Structure 1
Amino acid sequence: MEITLKDIQEAKSSLRNAVYKTSLVHNTTFSEMAKSSVYLKMENLQKTGSFKLRGAFNKISRLPEKDRKNGVIASSAGNHAQGVAMAATSYGIKSTIVMPKHAPLSKIAATKSYGAEVILYGDVYDEAYEKAKEIQKQTGAVFVHPFNDPEVIAGQGTIGLEILEDLPDTDIIVVPVGGGGLISGVAIAAKSIKPSIKIIGVQAKNMPSMAESISQGHIATIEGMPTIADGIAVKTPGELTFNIIRHYVDDIITVDEDEIANAILLLMERAKVIAEGSGAVSVAAILNRLEYIENKKVVALISGGNIDVNMLSRIIDKGLAKSGRRILIDTLIPDKPGTLGILLNRVAETGANVLSVTHNRSTRDIPIGYAKVELELETADEEHAEEIKKLLLLNDYNFLLL
């Protein structure tokens, strides 16, 4: 089914009072790192914290009155769920959302708060989808597909209109890809207005279903592995989106889990932006995979900001450790008064901040007359961590860096 620029423009009119026109913000740090002009399209600041409201609202706003009586049903890892719930509630329509059992707790709670009945089923989106279709047959509710629906795609495409309104000379738009609804809409809108623009899709390396499908020339189901970009963890792309992407999208690349986590951390530190894993893959791609974007105007679509706080904490801890800004040192010292103080003073001389100290003399692996000390240190960078290691070696400490 063909989706046109006119469909997207009509969707924009329908959404005028329902969604925000989110900001397009230039980021100096990422621009310097990528040697290009990088702009962030801030859909993480959209109502419900994600672009998904656009497509869901456009779909539900167009339902005939006779189709509303049995309500709507959807399957989602979280963001589409919230969009459908908010849109349905605004029209007084009952909504039921089937979410994977391991969906982030914050997304489950938010979906319920928007008025939906939430059913947890399956380990990934595709299993939740099958359950939702089963319930739909029983209830007669209208199924609101998260990506393989022309009205949903048209709603997402309004982002492409906004980008080119704010930055008409955009050269490249980098877009997260799961099932493909977002990039399909953005690509149709952008290419219809400016055919020379490049549209680059990004998937998690752990779940590259669309990338593999395009590579193989047919829709492929990929079992994949868990990813922190749960919002784009889709095993099987949609037929409609697959065909649109083949026609409109210039390339689809993948990024790994460390690159995604680092992008989340950099967005927090350098842009003061909270992005979920699926929202950060566009920045991960720009910083690690797109060498040919130098001296271009590049838009990174930050598709959502609904990250679980516990996951965010783990990402921060891992990122600090990987960059050498938080280290754990395990060493033995003589079990005598003053030796712990000497060790701490030597560490303090380097400017490191001691976050915690564990002192133990009782376990079997500790020789009599010694105590085991574990230090958690806050450091400036890898060079600072190396300085601490050299100082300990110089003073004859035997230690392990954990």
Structure 2
Amino acid sequence: MAVVTLSDIRAAARRIAKGVVVSPCPESIPLSEITGARIFCKLDNLQRTGSFKERGARNALLLLSPAQKRRGVIAASAGNHALGLAYHGKLLGVPVTVVMPDYAPLIKITTCRRLGARVLIHGRDFAEARLEADRLVADEHLTYVHGFDNPGIIAGQGTMGLEILRQVPDVEAIVCPIGGAGLIAGIAIAVKALRPKVQIIGVESVATASFTAALQAQHPVSIPRAPTLADGLAVLRVGDGSFELARPLLDKVVRVDESWIALAILRMIELDKIVVEGAAAAPLAALMAGVLPELAERRVVLVVSGGNIDPAILSRVIEKGLVHDGRLTRFTAKISDRPGGLAELCRVIAASGASVKDIAHDRAFSGPDVSAVHAVCTVETRDHAHIKELHRALKKAGFPLVVVA
């Protein structure tokens, strides 16, 4: 098992100081209001490449021998580890190759290439990408830098814990996303060594709960691949070393549904003007979902691990968040196909205070009555209570709802 100590993390902090930003950790009044806790956000999405991964990447590269630096390094990564290696490899003159699975966000692929790395797209998941990387290690004599199960990486990530304790000295709990577990292992080692009473809580998506699976089995196990908007958490098996380091130090691990992650992304954009990726929104999602009631009124730091969300995905996530929030709804109403039918439907919608976003007519599947048509309506509303109010108004006006979403 890899051994990482507080001394290793302090050494990493000194080593990377000239190349990695000390990210801010401000208090968020709006997020505190919606969660009931006193929330601080550790904004590592403001690193140069948009993620905490720079910490471990730079530390690991600086620990290489001169020969290893000349030959170059390789890693399998869904994106953020690749970005960190590419950026700091360029700064330090170390050639970098990254193998990305096919679900890696386009923004991370293009940014990696712009930073000078050789990017190879291979495999349906991290495991297949790793096999290709291992083949290239043997063929090209490269050094493999694991994204979350490497002592240098874990020590580098742990520098965030040191910063949090300086920035929020009276912190009572740190809530951190879990993918491969390197970040939470590093933070936990640093924080528990200095402030053992601070709670360290991990958050996973229900779609990618590999740490929970490892806890149940008492050792890391592979889980099936499942779609997730938190690609940074899409690790099918936590690291052996990172799991063993983190397990005795974590106070709790919780899971959140994808819909809560989508809503948390929306909340952070709207309330704090912070663009985050799915993994970074998971800590807020856990508080919003009510799975951490014990943190009410306590000083809590949310680890905002990255902001590299694909713009195309972001637009869809925002819409999903609006649906979950009751601010976007869809229903199908049966209306008259004669003049005035649609106008009357729109009048009722407007009178209820809702706003029509889109209406499509479905005549072919509206039943045997040729004088009737199904109007598929997408409508903006205030909340779930407003949706129910709208439905009541439509039924009262004589518009039967055929399908409600």
- The match for 1:20 is 21
Structure 1 residue 297: Cα displacement: 0.9
Is 1:137 the counterpart of 2:138? The answer is yes
- The match for 1:184 is 185
Structure 1 residue 178: Cα displacement: 1.4
SS of 1:200's equivalent in the other structure is strand
Q: Measured at CA, do residues 351 and 295 of structure 1 come closer, stay the same or move farther in structure 2, by a change above 3 Å?
A: closer
Write the mapping of 1:3-402 to structure 2, written as runs, cut at 5 A: 3-288=4-289, 289-359=291-361, 361=363, 365=367, 367-400=369-402, 401-402=404-405
Name the amino acid aligned to 1:352.
A
SS of 1:148's equivalent in the other structure is coil
Structure 1 residue 362: Cα displacement: 5.7
Q: Measured at CA, do residues 372 and 237 of structure 1 come closer, stay the same or move farther in structure 2, by a change above 3 Å?
A: closer
Q: TM-score, normalised by structure 2?
A: 0.94
Partner Cα distance (1:104, 1:283) in 2: 22
Q: Measured at CA, do residues 363 and 202 of structure 1 come closer, stay the same or move farther in structure 2, by a change above 3 Å?
A: closer
SS of 2:60's equivalent in the other structure is helix
8 Å CA contact 1:208–1:224 kept in 2: the answer is no
Partner Cα distance (1:2, 1:306) in 2: 30
Name the amino acid aligned to 2:187.
V
Percent of residue pairs bearing the same amino acid type: 38
Moved more, 251-260 or 335-344: 335-344
Q: Measured at CA, do residues 357 and 238 of structure 1 come closer, stay the same or move farther in structure 2, by a change above 3 Å?
A: closer
Partner Cα distance (1:366, 1:16) in 2: 73
Q: Deviation string for 1:195-225 (max 9, x for gaps)?
A: 2111111122222222221232222222252
Partner Cα distance (2:245, 2:202) in 1: 12
Structure 1 residue 80: Cα displacement: 0.2
Moved more, 86-95 or 156-165: 86-95
Structure 1 residue 2: Cα displacement: 2.4
Partner Cα distance (1:164, 1:256) in 2: 30
Q: Measured at CA, do residues 252 and 334 of structure 1 come closer, stay the same or move farther in structure 2, by a change above 3 Å?
A: closer
Q: Measured at CA, do residues 361 and 52 of structure 1 come closer, stay the same or move farther in structure 2, by a change above 3 Å?
A: same
Partner Cα distance (2:243, 2:307) in 1: 26
Name the amino acid aligned to 1:347.
I
8 Å CA contact 1:157–1:182 kept in 2: the answer is yes
Moved more, 58-67 or 151-160: 58-67
Structure 2 unmatched ranges of 5 or more: none
SS of 1:47's equivalent in the other structure is coil
Where does structure 1 differ by over 3 angstroms across 4 or more consecutive aligned residues?
Answer: 359-366
Partner Cα distance (2:365, 2:199) in 1: 61
**Corresponding residue pairs, total:** 402
Moved more, 145-154 or 211-220: 211-220
Partner Cα distance (2:361, 2:202) in 1: 50
Partner Cα distance (2:34, 2:366) in 1: 50
Structure 1 residue 302: Cα displacement: 0.9
Structure 1 residue 78: Cα displacement: 0.5
Structure 1 residue 364: Cα displacement: 6.6
8 Å CA contact 1:198–1:250 kept in 2: the answer is yes
Partner Cα distance (2:343, 2:319) in 1: 27
Q: Deviation string for 1:41-73 (max 9, x for gaps)?
A: 111111111000110011112222211221110
8 Å CA contact 2:219–2:240 kept in 1: the answer is no
Q: Deviation string for 1:310-346 (max 9, x for gaps)?
A: 2212222122223221122322322332332222222
Q: Deviation string for 1:162-204 (max 9, x for gaps)?
A: 1001111111111111111101111111112112111111122
8 Å CA contact 2:348–2:397 kept in 1: the answer is no
Partner Cα distance (2:366, 2:269) in 1: 43
Name the amino acid aligned to 1:59.
A
Moved more, 229-238 or 165-174: 229-238
Partner Cα distance (1:327, 1:374) in 2: 11
SS of 2:39's equivalent in the other structure is strand
Structure 1 unmatched ranges of 5 or more: none
Q: Measured at CA, do residues 185 and 362 of structure 1 come closer, stay the same or move farther in structure 2, by a change above 3 Å?
A: closer
Structure 1 residue 368: Cα displacement: 1.9
Name the amino acid aligned to 2:382.
A
Q: Deviation string for 1:114-150 (max 9, x for gaps)?
A: 1111111111112211211111111111111101111
Partner Cα distance (1:214, 1:358) in 2: 49
- CA RMSD in angstroms, aligned pairs only: 1.7
Name the amino acid aligned to 2:17.
R
Q: Measured at CA, do residues 137 and 268 of structure 1 come closer, stay the same or move farther in structure 2, by a change above 3 Å?
A: same
